[in-house]
Amino acid sequence: MKQFPLFLLFVFLFFFSIFLGFTFRLIWFLTYQKYLVEKDLVYKPLIEAKGGGNTPQEAWIGYLNALEKGDIEGALEYIWPEEREKIRKSLLEAKSRGYLEDPAHSFSRMITKVENPERFLDKDEVMYVVKVIINKTKSLARAEDKETKEFLELLYKDKPEIFESEETIIFKFNPYSKKWLIKE
C-alpha cells in the first residue's frame, strides 16, 4: 500500500483553513450587517427626534403649549418616538370631536417628581405627577359607550361637579438629542 504524501496533507489543510476562515468571516459579516440594519430600525427614530425639553418640566410645558394651539404635530415632538402613532390617533380623534378646544380635563403646568415610584423605571426614566381638574358633566357626556359611562358614574359618584385628580407621567431621556420626552 502506498503512503499518502505529506505534501498533499499540508495542501489539503491549507485550503481547508482558508475555507474555514472564509466561512467564519462570512458569518461575522452577515451578523454585523444584521446588527446595522436593526440598529437603524431601532435607533434612527431616536437620532432623528428633534423635539423634547431640556428638563421634564420643559417637555411637559412644550407639549401643553402645542396642544393649546391645536398643533398636534408640534405636541408629538414631545412624545417618545415609539408612542407617537398611538398618541397621534388619539389626538386627531379628540381634535375632530372638539375636545382639544373644549376639554373635560385641564392639566396643570406644574408637575412634581415622584422620588420613590412603586413601578420599576429604566435608569433614563423619571416619574412625575400632574394635577388634573376634571369637569364631571363634560367627562360623562363624552363617554364612548354605556359601559364607560357607567364606570365613570361609579368613579365620580361622590365627587363635586369640578374636582381635582392626579395622573402620572413617565419621561424618558433621549441620549442622542439630549432632551427629555414624554413616554407615557
CB atoms within 10 A of CB 182: 24
* Closest listed residue to residue 111, CA positions, set 75, 71, 73, 59: 59
* Alpha-carbon separation of residue 13 from 6, 21, 22 (angstroms): 11, 12, 14
pLDDT of residue 137: 85
CB atoms within 10 A of CB 19: 10
pLDDT of residue 60: 92
pLDDT digits (tens, 9 = 90+) for 67-99: 888 889 999 999 988 888 998 998 888 888 877
pLDDT digits (tens, 9 = 90+) for 45-73: 766 777 888 999 999 999 989 888 888 99
CB atoms within 10 A of CB 99: 16
| pTM as predicted | 0.70
Per-residue buried b or exposed e for 64-88, using 16+ beta carbons within 10 Å of the residue's own CB: bebbeeeebeebbbbbbbeebeebe
Query: 49-182 — its CATH code?
Result: 3.10.450
